[in-house]
Each structure stands twice: as C-alpha cells, then as structure tokens.
Amino acid sequence: MKIKIKNIMSDYNKDIGESIVVIATDIGQFRGKAQLHPDDKEIESNYAGCRYAEMRAGIQYMKQKARIAEYKLEPLYKIYKDLMQRNNYNKDNMGIKILEKEIYILEDEKEFFRNNVRTLTESLTNAITTRPDTIKYILEKEKDNK
C-alpha cells in the first residue's frame, strides 16, 4: 500500500517553544503540534520539535485512513450478512466473490493503518523519552573533543 505524505509547512516558534507541521495527503491536510517542555529549555531544537509535530500529524492521518476503511466496511458487512441469509445464497456467485474480495481488501487496509498508528506512536514516544540521553551523549562528545 502506497502512502503519499508531503510536508507543506514546518514552523518553530522559539519564543513559545512550539513546533507546528502541516502535511498534505491523499485525503487532505493534517496538522501536528509539539510543545517544548519547560525542563528541556537548554536542549531545545527546532529539528526535534518539528519532527515530533510531523509524527503527530502522520498519526492523525493514519487514524483517519483506518476510520475511512472501517466506515466503508460497515455497509459491506450488512450486505454480506443479508445475502448469506437468503435461501438462494450461492457462495460461488461472482457478485459474492467480488464482495468478499472488497471486504478483505478494506480489512487489510484498516489493519495496515492501525498498525502504522501503533508503530508511529511508539516511535514518537521512544524519540521523546530517549532525547535527554541523546543530548547528554552529544554534549559529552563535544566536551571530549575540546
């Protein structure tokens, strides 16, 4: 499954420590925001803030794609259930096979985007929690090189 996401705006406001990123996708624009934690003032970075904001925008997009697939599945499940209850139901009917295939494709798409939400959320959490250690490591290396 191909995902096309384009970063159309990234902004870091140093005065308030806020990063905002807007992405354009096949279903519209999504906005992510990251706020600098007051304890991190000495290690602030527009790169990190914009990266977190972009990840949050991506999570919103993935959630919306999963919702769309779920929304499309609801009527298909109902039609399939209704067809199965008919006396003349024939599992080999071409229309039934097409319906089953469409359900399979949408279920797969929904699961794909849900998995991406989980992965991206875990990546964001990991990036945020490991950042102080990364900064500490970088500062120690700089000190060693002086």
pLDDT tens digits, 75-87: 999 999 999 999 8
Phi then psi for residue 86, to 5 deg, are: -75, 150
Residues of the chain with confidence (pLDDT) below 70: 39-44, 146
Q: DSSP alpha helices (H): ranges in the chain?
A: 46-84, 94-145
- Of residues 6, 54, 59, 47, the one with CA closest to residue 33: 54
Distance CA 44, CA 17 (A): 8
pLDDT at 133 (0 to 100): 81
pLDDT at 62 (0 to 100): 97
pLDDT at 71 (0 to 100): 98
pTM for the structure as a whole: 0.84
pLDDT at 64 (0 to 100): 97
pLDDT at 42 (0 to 100): 64
pLDDT at 39 (0 to 100): 67
pLDDT at 20 (0 to 100): 96
pLDDT at 45 (0 to 100): 73
pLDDT at 89 (0 to 100): 87
